[in-house]
A and B are shown apart, each in its own frame.
Chain A
Amino acid sequence: MTATSDIIATLQGQFPALTPRPSADYPAVNVSAASASALLKTLRDSHGYDMLMDLTALDQGEGVSPRFLVVWHLFSTTTHGYVRVAAACEDDASPSMPSVVPLWAGANWHEREAYDMFGIQFAGHPDLRRILMWDGYPYHPLRKDFPLAGKPTELPDAEIAAEVTAKVAPAPMAGGPFVATPSNLDTGDAEPRAKDESWNERRVKPE
C-alpha cells in the first residue's frame, strides 16, 4: 500500500528513531518510550488520527527484554484509517510510559487498565489506580508469569475477611479440561485431561 509507506516515511523524517513495525493490516510503527507522546500528538494534530480507539499493553514473556510494550490504535474520523503505534517500556522490572491523558481524555481508563493488568506506570496520569481488580490487589494478572488459576490472596475488605475467614482461592481446575498448552509439546503432553499439569494419561497422578 502506498499510503502506508507514505505516512511512515513522513513520520520518519520527523522522528528518526522510528522504525516500521511488521503489520498485516494497518500502518504500524515502533517508537521509543520518550518520543511516543510527541509522535501520537503529531498523528492527532497533523495526520487526522483524532480518535484513540484502543490502548493496551503486551507482555513478551519473562526473560525477554524489552518485556512490556504499550500499543496504541488510532482511528481517523475523516479518512477512516487506523494506525498502530507501539513503544517498549524501558525498565522490565518497573515498566513505565508517559501518559497520553492530556491528548485524549478517554486514555484515562485504558491506562488504568494497563496499569492494573500489567503494572505499567503511566507518568503524568491524573488518577492511576486499579480499575478491574480491587484496590490493594497485589498482582498484575495479565502478566505471563501470573498463572491462569490465580493466586491465593486476602479478601479486599479486612473486616469481612476476619469474620468469614475466607481467602480468594485459585480456581480448582485451572482452565478446565481440554485446554491445550500453547507450546511445541506433542499433543499428549500439550493437552492433559485436567489442567493440573502434574499428571496426564502418561504420568500418574500424584497421591
Chain B
Amino acid sequence: MATEFTFPDAAAQAAAHDADAERMSLSMGPSHPSTHGVLRVQLELDGETVLKADPVIGYLHRGEEKIAENMTYNQFVPYTDRLDYLAPLANNVAYAYAIEKLAGVVVPPRCQAIRVIVAELARVSSHLVGLGCFGMDCGAWTPFLYSFNEREKLYRLFEELTGARFTTSYTRIGGLARDLPAGWTDRVLAFCDQFLPILEETIAMLERNRIFVDRTTGIGIITKEDAIAYGLTGPNLRGSGVPIDFRKDTPYSGYEQYEFDVPVGTRGDCYDRFLVRGEEMRQSVRIIRQAIATLPGGDWYARDARKIFAPRKDKVLTSMEELINNFMIVTEGPQVPAGEAFFQAENPKGGLGFYVVSKGGGVPWRLRLRSPSFSNLSIMPKICQGALVGDIVAILGSLDFVMGECDR
C-alpha cells in the first residue's frame, strides 16, 4: 500500500522552529579561565548568538574606599597594590601624586624620574600579562610563556627595588620608600636590551597568526563615540582611535620631558587593542631609557614637606626634633590641608583617578577610586550583543581588565 508523501513547507517549519526556539541562560564565571579573575557574565543565548550579556561584578569587593577613610594616607599605600595587581607600582605612583596634589607638595626631579621608570616598568609587566593572556584565550600558548618569562625578570628587578615582587608599596606621600639600589638602573637597561627582541618575537607570533587574526579582527568593535560615552580610557580608548593619553595631555611626573608616541587604532576591534598594547611596550622601553639616561641626582623625597614625609631613620635616632616629627607622621599621618582634588594617571589599564576629599589631618574624609577597569567593563553589554560565545572570550581578553581594580 502506497502512502502519499508530501514535502513539508520549509517556511512554515522554520517559523514553528523559531517560535519554540529556546533561549538559554548561561552563567559564565565567576571562576572561568577566560574571565581573568572573578567576573561573571550572565549570558542570554539563542544558539551560539549572544542576545544579552550582563557582567556581574563585586566578587572581589573589599571596600577599599571605606578602608581609606579609616587610616592615614601612608597606611593606604599597600591597599593600592591590590587595585590593579598586575601593575602595583603604577598604582603607588598615581596614589602618591593624587595626595601630593591636594597637599601642594612637589617632589624633586629625581623622585619624579624614578616614579616614571617604575611606572613604565609596571606598564610593561602589565601589558605582558595582557598580551600573553589574550593570546592564550584565543588558543596561542607560546606567547603566554614568552611574556611570563619576561615578566619574571621584571619581578626580580621589582624585588631588588622594593623588597617584594608583587605587593611593592614603593611610594610614600612626598617621596619614595627608598632610593634606587646601586647598579639597579644598569640592570634595568640590560633588561630593556634583551627584552626588545623577545617582545618583537612575541608580537610577531600573534600579529600574523591566522587563527588569532581571524578571531580578533572585526570582533568587539568599539566606535569612537561609544568609547567616549562609556568613559573608556587607556589602550581600549586609543584602540578606538581617540588619542587621549594623560601622560601627554595632562603631563605629570615630568612626562613632558620624554619623547614617546601614543599609538592609536583605526577600527576599534580586538586586534587593534592588541596592536596598541604591543606598541605601548616599545614606547615604554623608550621612556625608560630616556629617564635613566637623564636621571637627575639630588633628593628623592620632598625635603621641605616636613609634615608629610617622615625624616630619615638616622636623623630620627639622633635628633629630638626629627624623632617627634617622625612620631607625628607615623601616628597621625601626613598632614594634608582641607580641600578636594582629583588626579588621574595613565595606568596600564587606563586612567586611574583618585578623588580625595580632606577635612584636614592625616586621614581622608573620602577617597574615591575611579578605576579604569570598571568603566572599561561597563561597555560589555553593548559590544557583546550579537557576538558568538567564542567572541566573548576574545573581547574579554582584549579589554584587559583586572577585577581587583574593578571591584575595589
Contact = CB atoms under 8 A, between A and B. Distances in A.
Nearest to B339: A24
Nearest to B101: A25
A73 B66 contact: no
Contact of B355 (A52, A56, A130, A178): A56
B174 to A, nearest CB: 17
B357 interface: yes
Q: Give the bracket for the number of chain A residues in contact with chain B.
A: 35 or more
Interface in A169-196: 175, 178-180, 182, 187, 190-191
B366 to A, nearest CB: 6
Contacts of B179: none
A51 B71 contact: no
A80 interface: yes
B71 A132 contact: no
Contacts, number: 119
Interface stretch (B138-146, B159-167, B227-235): B227-235
A108 interface: yes
Interface in A55-74: 56, 58-59, 71, 73
Contact of A106 (B244, B339, B378): B378
Q: Give the bracket for the number of chain B residues in contact with chain A.
A: 35 or more
Nearest to B244: A77
Interface string A36-59: 000000000000001111101011
A72 to B, nearest CB: 11
Contacts of B249: 80
A109 to B, nearest CB: 4
B65 interface: yes
A132 B55 CA distance: 11
B333 interface: yes
A109 B370 CA distance: 12
A54 B370 contact: yes
A113 B63 CA distance: 12
Interface of A: 22-26, 28, 50-54, 56, 58-59, 71, 73, 77, 80, 82, 84, 104-106, 108-110, 113, 117, 130-134, 141-142, 146, 148, 175, 178-180, 182, 187, 190-191
